[in-house]
Amino acid sequence: MKLLDASVLVGYAQGERAAADYLGRNDDTIFGAPTVVLSEMYTGLFRTTDLTREEAKAKYGWVRAVPFTDEAAVETAEIRATLSARGEKINATDTYIAGTARAFDVPLVTADGDFEKVDGLDVENYRDH
């Protein structure tokens, strides 16, 4: 499984060629998204489209919801502490996403370079593939 960040899902929804190409090249891959990413994505869809709740969920039925677990909470806390000790920072939501990917030991697919700051996180930039 690979986890998708909001950048991929939003890019896909907006018809971004790089997102569609990446997903097409990896069509045999199981994709998941942290629940916080799904929340971001649904918020964007509800703000910019007339999709109903059911239509929005059906549109992304191929994405597995990956929960924020106790292990993800520990990973997130370690990420925040490490970044803070180095004087670095990333968006708080991104720490939850990175913590979830590390907890499940899966790659995170994104276009957000901030994730490169996170030690032990396998990051795939879908625009580079």
Residue numbers in the known binding site for Mg(2+) are: 5, 94
Handedness of CA 46, 51, 53, 58 (dihedral sign): negative
Annotated binding-site residues read 5, 94
CA–CA distance, 94 with 97 (Å, rounded to integer):
5
Determine how many CB atoms are found less than 10 A away from the CB of residue 88. 11
